[in-house]
Amino acid sequence: MAELTDGTNTAKVEDGAEVKEGCKELGVVFGCEDGLCGTCLVEVMEGMDNLSERTQAEKDMGVEDNNRLMCQCKIKGGRVKILY
pTM: 0.95
Q: Contact, 7 vs 63, CB < 8 A?
A: no
Tens-digit pLDDT profile for residues 42-53: 999 999 999 999
Convert the pLDDT of each residue in 7-40 to its tens digit: 999 999 999 999 999 999 999 999 999 999 999 9
Write out pLDDT tens, residues 52-82.
Answer: 999 999 999 999 999 999 999 999 999 999 9
Domains in the chain, CATH or no CATH each:
2-83 (3.10.20.30)
Look up residue 31 and give its amino acid. Answer: G
Distance CA 12, CA 2 (A): 6
